[in-house]
Amino acid sequence: MARSIVRSPRPGLRRSTPDVVAAPIDRQNLDRTVAALRGVTTQDSLARAVALGEILVLYVYRGRESAWRSRTRDNPTLRVIAAYPELPFGASTLYRALAVRELVLRMGGLEACVGLTAAHVYAVLPMDPSGQIAALERARDEGLTGTQLRKLCANASMRRRGGRRAMFAILRTLRGCDRELRPASEELTTAVSALAPKDANECLELLQRIERSLAAIRRALDDA
């Protein structure tokens, strides 16, 4: 099993199908799983992660893609496997190997990931799935390092969060203005005639500032 997966530094990636059958997860099969995981010796970090993920999908999830996707974080078998003293890595490595394998499949296989490493894929794992492939393709095409891609993804995430905060702030302000002014507009219009000249001038200055602020928001919305 393991030898066929790691035969070359950049092996092909097979998509598991529901008719792939693995033995039940008993002690014997756990031992076989650990042995297969230990047999992955390729030094290519991405191919290694994919190979680990393939072994887990076959042995732990019986080759069923839907099974591991629905239980990635709550399958105690992965923790049991990671607890084996013979295994040189922990549960987080196993979880990430499954996620890496899935992303590489979505990329079109290892052949489409030339120039990428496991660090590149780790960098996009926290992203929304809709943007992961585009980020990896950009890193591949532009020759970005894993560190550069991680910073790029972090900056994009901060911009998105900042944009949402700004949007909520604008909406909150505009809704507050509408809530206060709409019911009182007729009453305020009537009260203008009773204002002293000094107070009327102050009101005009305030309105001009408000109008300038609203105009700036309007221009930004038009350009968005």
Q: How would residue 20 be classed by pLDDT, with cut points 50, 70 and 90?
A: very low
Per-residue model confidence as pLDDT tens digits over 196-215: 888 888 888 888 888 888 88
Per-residue model confidence as pLDDT tens digits over 26-47: 778 888 899 999 999 888 999 9
Pick the closest to residue 87 from 158, 151, 30, 161 (CA basis): 30
Per-residue model confidence as pLDDT tens digits over 157-182: 655 554 555 566 777 777 777 777 77
The end-to-end CA distance of the chain, in Å, is: 53
Per-residue model confidence as pLDDT tens digits over 65-78: 666 565 545 567 88
Spatial contact of 71 and 29, defined as CB atoms under 8 Å apart: no
Triad 12, 18, 24: Cα angle to 5°: 100
Between the ranges 17-26, 55-64, 107-116, where is the mean pLDDT highest? Answer: 107-116
> At residue 3, does pLDDT exceed 50?
no
Q: What is the C-alpha to C-alpha distance for residues 145 and 162, in angstroms, rounded to an integer?
A: 26
Per domain, the residue ranges of the chain are 2-144, 161-223
pTM: 0.59
Spatial contact of 78 and 30, defined as CB atoms under 8 Å apart: no
